């Protein structure tokens, strides 16, 4: 795990592992037969979004709390049994999984604190925070105060000329098949004007962070996978905000077998008629509730579509 921390809400606290990487976020507590009291896992998908959660592969019931970027509880879901899949009703930055019953008395609006006690992943969001004494992130101060550029592993170089961007053309591709998304270097930018050393082949979260840092306005979504989740694919360029939504949806699809493209051809065909959409809820039978065109729609596995009032 990327590190450990201590989460406190009201008079309760939990020693947590912090999940940051794609593998950690997808693995979660799968296969854990027993979770000691007062422990759990804190997940950080990277930005505020509607978070899809699945307990497929879990062996114990869980209480789950969603928190915003200021570590304020936005929603609590209690006693979630293994094999369930759902989406947060409000955008959230983090979610906390603990033993069922341990979030008793915790409610939306409660502030939380996080004390990071160990950092293991250099180059990750937490690993790039300056490694001084253990510190406390208070919700009232927000996460933004301690962010540093993703992938930054060297000290900034002193430059005499204007600072120029090092990269061009960011791509989100192949990550869902074990490959890498990447950001192409710009050969027209001389090395002496590169401000920091960054990886050329990185995970999709880092691609987005690099694009934001470099002031890029678009990210490419190459490959047929994106076509299966309502994008054009094959190099379609989208805004950074849309790329964040696309990546969140892609992770949601990869984490839930009921969302696998091709499993329900009728549903896949019906979804294409809606254009771009976000998944609001996955029903146990494979039917979906999605947001599109400012409305909620139910799309059945047979391909029927009707507006949800």
Domain ranges of the chain: 3-146, 149-254, 262-309
More confident residue, 298 or 262: 298
> CB under 8 Å to 176, separation ≥6 — which residues?
225, 250, 254
Helix (H/G/I), strand (E/B), else coil: 177: helix
Determine the distance from the C-alpha atom of residue 186 to the mean position of all C-alpha atoms in its chain, rounded to a whole number: 28
Q: How far apart are CA 176 and CA 2, in angstroms?
A: 20
pLDDT at residue number 297: 95
Helix (H/G/I), strand (E/B), else coil: 219: strand
> CB under 8 Å to 286, separation ≥6 — which residues?
258, 263, 264, 267, 301
Kindly state which CATH superfamily the domain 3-146 is placed in: Protein of unknown function DUF192 (2.60.120.1140)
pTM above 0.75, yes or no: no
pLDDT, one tens digit per residue, over 204-235 is 887 888 788 778 888 888 777 788 888 886 67
86 strand-pairing partners: 53
Helix (H/G/I), strand (E/B), else coil: 207: helix
Q: Please identify, in words, the CATH class of the domain defined by 149-254.
A: alpha beta
pLDDT at residue number 62: 96
Q: How far apart are CA 296 and CA 158, in angstroms?
A: 52
Lowest mean pLDDT across 32-36, 106-110, 165-169, 186-190: 186-190
Lowest mean pLDDT across 175-184, 192-201, 229-238: 192-201
């Amino acid at each position: 795990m990327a590190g450990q921390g201590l989460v406190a809400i009201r008079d309760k606290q939990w020693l947590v592992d912090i999940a940051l990487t794609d593998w950690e976020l997808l693995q979660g507590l799968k296969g854990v037969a027993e979770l000691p009291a007062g422990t759990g896992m804190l997940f950080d998908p990277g930005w505020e979004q509607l978070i899809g959660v699945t307990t497929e592969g879990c062996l114990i019931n869980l209480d789950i709390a969603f928190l915003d970027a200021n570590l304020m509880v936005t929603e609590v879901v209690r006693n979630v049994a293994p094999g369930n899949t759902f989406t947060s009703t409000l955008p959230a930055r983090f979610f906390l999984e603990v033993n069922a019953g341990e979030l008793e008395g915790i409610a939306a609006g409660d502030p939380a604190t996080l004390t990071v006690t160990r950092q293991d992943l250099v180059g990750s969001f937490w690993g790039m925070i300056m490694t001084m004494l253990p510190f406390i992130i208070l919700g009232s101060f927000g996460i933004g105060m301690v962010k540093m550029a993703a992938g930054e592993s060297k000290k900034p170089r002193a430059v005499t000329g204007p600072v120029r961007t090092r990269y061009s053309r960011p791509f989100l591709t192949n990550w869902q098949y074990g490959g890498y998304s990447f950001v192409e270097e710009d050969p027209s930018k001389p090395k002496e004007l590169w401000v920091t050393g960054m990886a050329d082949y990185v995970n999709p979260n880092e691609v987005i962070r690099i694009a934001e840092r470099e002031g890029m306005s678009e990210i490419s979504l190459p490959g047929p996978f994106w076509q299966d989740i309502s994008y054009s694919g094959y190099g379609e360029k989208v805004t950074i905000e849309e790329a964040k939504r696309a990546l969140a949806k892609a992770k949601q699809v990869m984490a839930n077998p009921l969302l696998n493209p091709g499993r329900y051809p009728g549903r896949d065909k019906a979804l294409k008629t809606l254009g771009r959409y976000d998944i609001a809820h996955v029903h146990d039978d494979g039917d979906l509730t999605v947001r599109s065109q400012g409305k909620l729609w139910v799309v059945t596995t047979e391909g029927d579509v009707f507006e949800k009032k």
